Every structure is written in structure tokens, then in C-alpha cells.
A and B are shown apart, each in its own frame.
Chain A
Amino acid sequence: MDPDEVEFLGEKQYISIIPTFSSNVIHLISGDVGPFRPSIPIRVPFWMAMQLKQQRICKIEPPEWMEVDKLEAIKEDEKNSRTFTKMPSDHYMVEAKILLASATDDIPRADEIRTIIKDIWDVRMSKLRSSVDVLVKNNGSYAAVDNLTLMEINSIRPLLPHALDTLYRLKNSITGGSSQSQSTTTFSRSTTSFHS
């Protein structure tokens, strides 16, 4: 999947903005937004918030998790947990990327936040790599990927599905090609869970 498409899906999340303009309710196909009154926070889709920000008619309120302290806690949890912890948003990476690129002035301590989010991503990615390693080595035929976000899943695509495909083919050619059932039992059919 094109990373732009992952972003596309993330952009329909809602975020709080503080408008500097007045407007009645806008009837979007995806639902009504507004009314807009100066200084009164209101929730709008990300893509819309970015459009308004570009036109300099609003300030962005960072999502409540986008704070140094909260992110530090998330990072610690992630480090201490064997499994993937649940992220505060299913699109945390997309949201962070967009906000840190286009609304830095609205985010206190943006540089620190950028670093911590990168750290969290790295911790999760290295966990992901070792899980994949275990899965492939154990010759698993499925695995739970709970709490992984779309962007993270996309980062192991197409590599992991391809690797499992290849394993499946090998397994199949052994089962199919050899009449000695003995030879197949050495391939244990264990299942690896990414989070158990």
C-alpha cells in the first residue's frame, strides 16, 4: 500500500481546532462540522484542519496524547512490555507526521515530541522484527498482530506476507512431493502470537 494511502485514511480522524473565523455549520458528506466561532474549539477532520491551517484561519489543538510526559510514559510502557501496547491513536504516526510538519507552531516542545515518537516507533519496529523472526523460524501459519497500527503493518508489507507465502510453498512441496510422512513432521506447525 502506498504510504500516501495510509495517510489518506489517517486524515479522516478528527482533531480539535481553534478557529479565528465565524461560520455556520458546514454540511460535509461525511457529516456536519461547525458552527465555527472565534476562540471556541471545535472538532473537524484532519484534512480539513490542515486546509484551514494553510489558510491561516485556525490554530490546531494538539491531541491530548501529544505531550512530552504522556509520550514518555507510553515509551516506557512499550519498552517494558513484551507485547505491543495499545497506542493512543490508531494513526499516531500519521497524525504526528502531519502536525509536526504543518503545525509546529501550535505544538509546545515539538522537537522533543518528534524525538520521543520516533523512539516509540523504533522500539515497536524492533519488537516487530524479532516477532517476525520468531514466527518465520517456528514456521507459523498465522499470527495475531493486535495493537499494531496500519502504518506499522504497512511497513512489513509485502515482506512478511511474501516470506510466509514462500514458506507455505516449501512446506507444500515437501508434503506433496514426498511419500515419507516422516519427513514432514520435523516441521512443527506451531503458531506464534505477536503479543501473547
Chain B
Amino acid sequence: MENLNLSDDLDLENALQDENDEDEQLTPAEVIELMEEAWLNEKFAPEILPHKFDVVECLLGQITYMEDNIQNLESKDFRKTIHQLEVDRLRFLVCSYLRTRIEKIEAYCNHIMKQESERISKGEDQYLTESEFQFLKDFIQSLDSHFEKVTSFTVVTEDWKSQPVVPNVHSFVFLKSKQEVEGVIIDDGRNDENDLVDLDKGSQLIISYNSVANLIKKGDVHLI
């Protein structure tokens, strides 16, 4: 129950945060920073995280813009190789991030579908972008039709979705705190008297993911 209340508060704070963000223009360097953070978070979080497509789109825009400019440089110009390498590095970052999400969508397709459907029916923000959600639906459909074909000899309707593969949200992760956070509740597998831990800015910890999932989504800490 405590977790539930906590997450409601967080959503509210996130919403307020978003409004503030719109007033400030991020520099490209800050966008890269956000992308790196999102990449690492997605890489190490067992479950799929809320998408960061504003960051992705912004960075892809920068990349495209730069590539157009590179065209105008002479191929012997040493600056061309430098710009090209930077573009390649950033493209890797974005692509690796997107790939990680696709991998999770595939691995936990039915579980994610269930969660997303719940979010939709509750009117909450979806974690997947529109195109990711489309991919999810198509992917599930492709498995459905494959399984249907290979089990066509029988009328048994044992649903392959009845025991979906789910992420282990208790798995251990390394994090770095971006600010002071008080009273993080440690889930150590018992319900009684959970330990509390305070985080200083910059402190690093190994801890179970579900103890800090909300802090990651809120952006108070990031995974390393």
C-alpha cells in the first residue's frame, strides 16, 4: 500500500516537473547526458521503463542536422571524420537504447501488454511509445499465429499467455544518487520491519530494483 501512495505522489511531481521543463531549452550536451542516463537505466532495469522519446527525437534531429552539414565538408577535411565519429557515437547510443527496449518488449510481451492495457484503462501515461506499442501488438500476433499453426492438430485451447515470462523486479542493480533521498525502503523479502536507507548526493549502492524503481522513474537516482 505504501508503494502505491508513493507512486501517486511521484506522478504528480513528474507532471509538475514536465511543465517546468517546457520553459527551459536544453542544450544538446544536456540532451546527450539525458540519453546516456536513459540508456544505462534501460540497460540495467529488469522491467521496461517509461519511454524517453522526447530525448530520442531531439537527439535524432541533431544527428540528422549534423549529417546534412557534414555533406558540405570536403572529404579530406579532418573535421569531417571528427563530426562523423561523433554522429556514429550518438547514433550508437540511441540505437542501443531502442534495441534494449525492443528486446524487453519481445521477452516480456504478454506481461507488458497487460500492464500497458491497465495503464490505458486507468488513463495513465503509457510506458511504450505508439510505435513500440504497435510493434508489441504485431509481435504478439506473430507468436499467436505461429503457435496456432504448430498446434493445429488439436482443439486444446491451453493459452500460451497463461504463464507469461515476467521480469524479475527484485533483481539487484547498481545505482548512483543524483540528490539526497531519505528513507528508501529496502525490500529484503520479508514484510515486517523493513530497513530504511538514506542516500546522499553522489552515493553509490547495490540494492534490489523494486526498492528504488520509483526513484529511477522519477529521476532522483540512475543506474550504473
Q: Which residues of A contact B (CB under 8 A)?
A: 1, 5, 8-9, 11, 21, 23, 26, 28-31, 47-48, 51-52, 55, 57, 141-148, 150, 153, 157, 160-161, 164-165, 168, 171-172, 175, 184, 189, 191
Contact = CB atoms under 8 A, between A and B. Distances in A.
Interface bin, chain B: 35 or more
A2 B50 CA distance: 24
Interface of B: 27-29, 32, 36, 43, 62-63, 66, 78-79, 81-83, 85-87, 89-90, 92, 96, 168, 170-174, 186-190, 195, 197, 203-208, 211, 224
Nearest to A54: B81
A168 B172 CA distance: 10
B189 to A, nearest CB: 4
Which A-B residue pairs are the 5 nearest by beta carbons? A141-B188, A161-B172, A142-B207, A172-B189, A164-B172
Contacts of B89: 8, 11, 47
A31 B205 contact: no
Contacts of A191: 195, 197
Given A28-B82, A30-B28, A168-B188, 12 more contacts: A23-B79, A28-B86, A31-B29, A52-B78, A55-B78, A141-B207, A142-B197, A142-B207, A142-B211, A146-B203, A153-B224, A191-B195
A9 B93 CA distance: 10
Interface of chain A, main secondary structure: mixed
Contact of A161 (B66, B92, B173, B189): B173
A189 B171 CA distance: 18
- Greatest chain A CB density within 10 A among B43, B79, B168 is at B79
A29 B62 contact: yes
B177 to A, nearest CB: 10
A175 B190 contact: yes
Contacts of A31: 27-29
Contacts of A145: 174, 204-206
Nearest to B207: A142
Contacts of A8: 89, 92
Contacts of B82: 26, 28, 48, 51-52
B174 A30 contact: no
Contacts of B197: 142, 191
Nearest to A167: B189
Contact of B81 (A11, A51, A146): A51
Contacts of A147: 204
B188 A153 contact: no
25 contacts: A11-B89, A29-B63, A31-B27, A31-B29, A47-B86, A51-B85, A141-B195, A141-B207, A142-B206, A143-B206, A143-B207, A144-B203, A145-B204, A145-B205, A145-B206, A146-B203, A157-B174, A160-B206, A161-B174, A164-B206, A165-B171, A168-B188, A168-B208, A184-B190, A191-B197
